[in-house]
């Protein structure tokens, strides 16, 4: 039986230097350091039940009555609008800028990878980075700003539900709801199958189909996550139970890269 192996930042830096393609798969743990609670964590939506997730994120319920989702969105935006990307978010953007990283696949809906400066971001669960009218299908490019979401909710004649300025249809963020297919999974699969080093960051790999992606990796897999992960040990897999920001701070130092401001 293969025993789990860990990997220190110096060894990880050598892997990054030697890899022809590096990809990162990120989960809620990347954003908890920014102040966004994991939906499945002790303060999360699925535990506190302040909102019923089965209704909040049900596409059928949203299309019948979007108010419950927008009440959640109003609170989510109020929490997120002043937050900044973590060091890990910014480190991934820097690694992409310097040519080390081919792209980020994320399960998060907070759009913090975009705000950190990452260019190739595959959001399999969608995010608030985009929005579209459910009636006329007009895209809403202003949705990339949480300040816009806050003002749109506050000033909407159907507050808190945001309506399209063109046709008064209900605006839906690009978040993937229960009952909808995940987004861009073929692109995520292509990135993972084509890389020789996959980071799994801040994810317990409990949510499918994203949890299947590490199984498709042909090269090395480095998991950095607090707590257990639903991925079996294997000769090409390394497991680091450590704070993400601290690990990436040391990784950047070993790579000779400046800490992102």
Task: Considering the candidates 61, 113, 114, 125, report the single residue annotated as catalytic.
Answer: 125
The answer to whether residues 51 and 5 belong to one domain is no
Cα 255 to Cα 104, 119, 251: the distances in Å are 19, 21, 6
Q: Looking at the domain assignment, is residue 259 inside a domain?
A: no
Return d(Cα 247, Cα 259) in angstroms, integer.
Answer: 12
**Which residue among 173, 199, 230 closes a domain?**
173
pLDDT of residue 47: 43
3-state helix, strand, coil in the chain (%, to 5): 40, 15, 45
Assess if residue 155 is contained within a domain.
yes
d(CA 194, CA 20): 9
Residue 114 in any domain: the answer is yes
Q: In the prediction, which pLDDT does 48 show? A: 47
> In the structure encoding, which two tokens stand for residue 80, read together?
């997120």
Active site residue 125: yes
- 87: phi then psi, degrees, rounded to nearest 5: -60, -35
Residues 153 and 245 in one domain: no
Alpha-carbon distance 143 to 160, whole Å?
A: 15
Query: Are residues 153 and 134 part of one domain?
Result: yes
Structure tokens at 57: 């994120």
Residue 244: give its domain's CATH number. Answer: 3.40.50.1220
**What pLDDT, on a 0 to 100 scale, did the predictor assign at position 216?**
97
Residue 246 lies in a domain: yes
- Pair (30, 98) in one structural domain: yes
User: How many domains are there within the chain?
Assistant: 2
Whether residue 98 contacts residue 43, with contact meaning beta carbons closer than 8 Å, is answered with: no
Question: What pLDDT score was predicted for residue 171?
Answer: 98
On the question of a cis peptide bond just before residue 96, with omega within 30 degrees of 0, the verdict is no
Q: What are phi and psi of 141, to 5 degrees?
A: -65, -25
Low-confidence residues in the chain, pLDDT < 70: 1, 38-50
Residue range of the domain that includes 169:
37-82+130-173
Distances in whole angstroms, Cα of residue 111 to Cα of each of 47, 77, 89, 255: 23, 12, 10, 26
Tokens describing residue 245: 């920001």
Say whether both 67 and 41 belong to one domain.
yes
- Pick from 208, 248, 250: nearest CA to 24: 248
Whichever domain contains 53, its CATH number is 3.30.1600.10
Is the residue at 20 inside a domain?
A: yes
Please tell me the distance from the alpha carbon of residue 19 to that of residue 36, in angstroms, as a whole number: 32
Same structural domain for residues 78 and 28? no
């Amino acid at each position: 039986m293969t025993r789990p192996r860990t990997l220190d930042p110096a060894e990880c830096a050598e892997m990054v230097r030697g890899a022809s393609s590096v990809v990162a798969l990120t989960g809620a743990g990347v954003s908890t350091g920014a102040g966004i609670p994991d939906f499945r964590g002790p303060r999360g939506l699925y535990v506190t039940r302040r909102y019923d997730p089965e209704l909040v994120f049900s596409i059928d319920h949203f299309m019948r009555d979007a108010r419950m989702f927008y009440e959640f969105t109003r609170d989510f935006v109020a929490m997120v609008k002043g937050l900044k990307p973590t060091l890990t978010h910014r480190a991934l953007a820097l690694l992409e800028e310097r040519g080390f990283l081919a792209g980020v696949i994320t399960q998060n809906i907070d759009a913090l990878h975009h705000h950190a400066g990452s260019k190739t971001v595959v959001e399999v669960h969608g995010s608030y980075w985009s929005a579209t009218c459910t009636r006329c299908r007009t895209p809403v490019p202003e949705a990339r700003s949480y300040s816009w979401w806050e003002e749109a909710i506050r000033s909407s004649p159907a507050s808190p539900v945001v309506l399209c300025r063109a046709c008064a249809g209900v605006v839906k963020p690009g978040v993937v709801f229960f009952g909808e297919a995940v987004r861009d999974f073929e692109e995520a699969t292509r990135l993972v199958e084509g890389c020789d080093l996959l980071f799994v960051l801040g994810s317990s790999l409990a949510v499918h189909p994203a949890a299947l992606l590490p199984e498709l990796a042909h090269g090395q897999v480095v998991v950095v996550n607090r707590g257990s992960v639903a991925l079996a040990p294997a000769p090409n897999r390394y497991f680091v139970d450590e704070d993400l920001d601290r690990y990436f701070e040391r990784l950047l130092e070993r790579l000779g890269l400046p800490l992102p401001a």
